[in-house]
Amino acid sequence: MALLFLLWILLIVAIPCSLLLLLLSFLVRPRPVKIPIKGRHVFISGGSSGIGLSLARLAAAEGARVSILARSPDKLQEARQSIRLATGVDVAVFSADVRDAEAVRRTLDEAGPVDVLICNHGVFVARELDLYDVEGLKFTIDVNLTGTFNLIKAALPGMKNRGQRGPGSIALMSSQAGQVGIYGYTAYSASKFGLRGLGEALQQEVIVDDIHVSLIFPPNTETPGFEEEIKTRSEITRIIAASSATMKADEVAMLTLNGIKSGTFSVTCNFNGILLALGSASLSPQRSFLVAFLEVVGASLMRLVALYFQWSWYKTIEKWHSQKNSK
């Protein structure tokens, strides 16, 4: 009897799950794709340091023709030498400010048609909204969001006319602060949340051109930019942000490149990122019916986990302000 009861329970669970998996395998869009790197032109903004430099090394090591973009000519030459020493490959370097649409257009014209565009540039200052001046806010939005728009717009004509070069990719470097708002990240989160809307809409526009969008959500990452960011963080921001472990740039770069090659839309880098992606999937594109299954069946549980994190953060905020006011 016990065995029959167990089999009955398994059937009750297995049949609906199998039907759901079958339905999801039909529904998921865009369809699965593999994007090669070897022999392709990979263009990386913010490529002179941090995650961008690590991505350039990896792509060069895999046989890509790599171009990197940054503002500082000196740092670009240092990065070029670093990549040459690590891989034996020489990369093209371009100096431009992503906020300057005309300069970006000229750079992409000079670089030539791109197969894989990685918009990795970004700036960040941890500061509460009432401490931001208008120029600081505008700078963050202009670099992180408008600069990405400028790069894509400049690269798209060449990407759409790739001929028979195979599927293309546009990767947008967001952040876990682009999945959930964090105290002290008002301007940064606004710019990174904007990339999600840009990416979702863009994927619909370019899918007929066999171009596939990836949105990368790294946690705190050991980069020169992160070292500067820490200096501006308030104590409460440090406490809340510490809930997600710091990763090395090489680790994030490897996960990013793998996500690009598999055409994954939401590329996560650690367990917290996976939870955030499952909990905030909403109307995002999804190629994997197995991940879609987890999103569907785990939605309620993920909401419960999210509510716990929000409870923890708000308790931290209340406690911190209470202690501050009592001094």
Catalytic: 174?
yes
Annotated catalytic residue within 45, 192, 214, 244: 192
Residue among 188, 189, 244, 266 flagged as catalytic: 188
Which tokens in the block code for residue 136? 């600081």
Give whole-number Cα distances, 114 to 64, 166, 195, in Å.
11, 12, 20
Q: Which residue of the set 169, 174, 214, 244 is catalytic?
A: 174
Q: How far apart are CA 40 and CA 279, in angstroms?
A: 34
Return the number of other C-beta atoms located less than 10 Å from residue 16's C-beta. Answer: 11
Q: How far apart are CA 242 and CA 233, in angstroms?
A: 12
* 293-308: burial string, b at 16+ Cβ within 10 Å, e else: bebeeeeeebeeebee
- C-alpha torsion angle, residues 75, 137, 117, 113 (rounded to 10): -90
| Main-chain phi, psi angles of 120, to 5 degrees | -105, -5
* 188 noted as active-site residue: yes
Q: Is 132 a catalytic residue?
A: no
Q: Which residues are catalytic?
A: 174, 188, 192
